Structure 1
Amino acid sequence: MIRPHELAAIRRGELDLAFRAWDRPRVRVGTRMRTAVGLVEVTEVERVALSALRAQDARRAGAASVQALREVLSGRPGRAVYRVGLRWAGPDPREQLREQIPDAAEIARIRAWLDRLDAASPHGPWTRATLALIDRSPGVRAPELAAELGRETLSWKADVRKLKEKGLTESLAIGYRLSPRGEAVVDAGGPPRERAPRPSGTALPRTIGAPATRGLLAEGITTLEQVAERTPEELRALHGVGPIAVERLGEALAERGMAFRPG
C-alpha cells in the first residue's frame, strides 16, 4: 500500500524507497504496479536490519526521521524489514488504449471476450448490463451501481476492473464512465447513443479522496483548470476539502505548470 501523497512524490522523483515489515517479500524486482499516478516499478527488494536504517533512508522514503521510520516498522514484531526500491515507470498503458477506437474486426473480438466473461461468471451474464449502467450513470459511486445490479460492491468492482483492462471503462474521482473505446463497442451495430459532451480540461486527481471530490463537485469545480481559479483558502472553506486535499491539488497543478490563484 502506497499512500496518495507518496505516489505523487514518486512520480516527481522525490521518493524512491519504501520500507515494509513483512513475513515474506510481497513484491519482486521488476513488478509494475498500476496506481493513481501511473505505473510504479519495483527496482530492488532487500531484507535489512532495523538498526541499519539511516537518516538518508528515511528521507528517501518520505519519513519524518529515521526514528519515526523505525517506530513504524517495529510496531509489527516478528516481521522482517524489507527495503523496496521504487520508480515511476510512465503512464498507465490503459490510458492510451481507451482512446483507441476499434474497427469492426476488433469489436467482434472484444464482444467474443465479453461473451466468455459472461459464460464463466458465477453471477451470470453481467458485462453488457454493467457497460450500459456505467454509460447512463457516469460519476455515480460504485456501491450505488452495484446495488442497482443486485451485486456485492467488491465483487462487482473486481469485474469492472476486467473491463478497464481492455480499455472499455475509466475510473473517475468518483465512479466510472465509458471510454471512447467502450462507447464504440456499446454503439456498434446500432445508432450512437446520445451522451452529454465529455468535460473539457484536466480531470480532478483521484489522490484527493472522495470527500474532497464531492466538495469540489458540489461547488461546480470539475477540472484542475477551475481549481486554479481559486485560492487555497477558498478551497479549504469548502465542505470536505481539507489541508491534505489542497496540498495534493497544488501538487497536481504544479505538475501541469499551473498554480492556485494568489490570495
Structure 2
Amino acid sequence: MRFTMEYWPGIADGSVTVAFRRWKRPTVVAGRTYRTGGGRVEVLDVSATNPDRISRRDVSRTGHPSADDIREQLRGEPDWPVYRVEFRYIDEPDPRDVLAHSADLSAADREEIDRRLARFDSVSKYGPWTRETLHLIARYPETRAPDLAAMVGRETRPFKLDVRKLKDLGLTLSFNPGYRLSPRGAAYLEVPYQPGASKPPGPKPAGSEPAGSDRN
C-alpha cells in the first residue's frame, strides 16, 4: 500500500490504522503483509463501503481531518467501488532488511543467488541485466534511478522494477536518491561494503512527497 509522507508517522505510531481506497478491484488482501513508507503493515480487513457513510471513529483512524477530506482524496474512476482497509503496524524487523545485512554467505547461499539471478536474466526482454545492474550500483552509489537507467540505455520504470527484485534478494538498499549495495550484495560481488554518508530514507515532513503518489 502507498501513503504520502504525512501519514508515515501515524502508521509507525499506530494512530493510523484505516484507509479508504477507490479501486476497480481490491489490490490488497486481508492477512497479507505490505510495505509502506511508515513501515510494514498487516491488512486485517478489506470491505466495500459507502463513502457517504464514513464514521467519525474511522475518520479519527485515517489521519484525515474529516470524512469530506477522505472523499476528496479518493483516486480512480467515479464509478469504481470504495473500499475500507483496516490494518495494523508490524513492530518487528523487516526480514528483507535482516537478509540485506547478512553478509556471511555460504556456498549454498551463493548457489541460490546465482540461480535466482540467472532466472531473472533468462526471462528478461532486455537481456541479462542482474550483474550489470549490481556493478552499476556499486560504481555509482546513491545516483538517481533515471540517470542509472540512462547509462545502460534502459527506461526508468522497468529499471526500477528490476532493482526491486535485487532488493527482495537482499542485495541492494534504497536511498534518497538511488541505491547502494547491501552488505550481502557487496559480499556476493566480493567488493568492500560502503555504507555511505546518508541513511536509507525514513518518514519525512508533510508536503515533501513527489507529485503523483497515491494519497491516503
TM-score > 0.5, shorter chain as reference? yes
Mapping of residues 1-263 of structure 1, within 5 Å: 1-73=2-74, 77-89=78-90, 90-101=92-103, 102-187=105-190, 193=191, 197-199=194-196, 203=199, 205-208=201-204, 244-245=207-208
Q: Give CA-to-partner distance per residue, 1:129-166, whole Å, 9 cap, x none.
A: 11111011110000111111111111111111111111
AA paired with 1:97? L
Distance 2:75 2:6 in 1: 23
CA distance in 2, matches of 1:70, 1:118: 43
Superposed CA RMSD: 2.4
What SS does the aligned partner of 1:61 have?
coil
Which structure would you say has the larger Rg? 1
- 1:182 is displaced (CA, Å) by 0.4
More displaced stretch, 153-162 vs 4-13: 4-13
- What is the aligned length? 205
User: Residue by residue, what CA displacement relative to the aligned partner does 1:89-127 show, whole Å, maximum 9, x if unpaired?
Assistant: 234211000111212331122123222222222211111
Cα deviation digits, residues 43-84 of structure 1 (max 9, x gap)? 111222233212222111111112333444599532322211
Q: Distance in 1 between matches of 2:80 and 2:144?
A: 37
TM-aligned CA deviation for residue 19 of structure 1: 1.1
1:21 positional shift:
2.2
Distance 1:46 1:171 in 2: 33
Flag the 1:21–1:198 CA change in 2: closer, same or farther, 3 A: closer
* Aligned mates of 1:73, 1:194 — CA distance in 2: 46
Higher relative contact order (CA 8 A, sep 6+): 2
- In the alignment, is the contact (CA less than 8 A) between 1:172 and 1:206 conserved in 2? no
- Alpha-carbon distance between aligned partners in 2 of 1:122 and 1:22, rounded to the nearest angstrom: 30
Q: CA offsets per residue over residues 165-219 of structure 1, 9 Å max, x none? A: 11000101210000010011101xxxxx456x5247x7263443xxxxxxxxxxx
Deviations along 1:236-257, one digit per CA (max 9) or x if unpaired, are xxxxxx8745xxxxxxxxxxxx
CA distance in 1, matches of 2:189, 2:202: 26
- Distance change >3 Å, CA 52–CA 165, structure 1 → 2: same
**Alpha-carbon distance in 1 for matches of 2:192, 2:78:** 58
Per the normalisation by structure 1, the TM-score is: 0.70
Query: Residues 243 and 113 of structure 1: is their aligned pair in 2 closer, same or farther, counting only changes over 3 Å?
Result: closer
- Structure with greater proportional helix content: 1
SS in 2 for 1:121: coil
Residue 150 to residue 206, structure 1, CA distance change in 2 (3 Å): farther
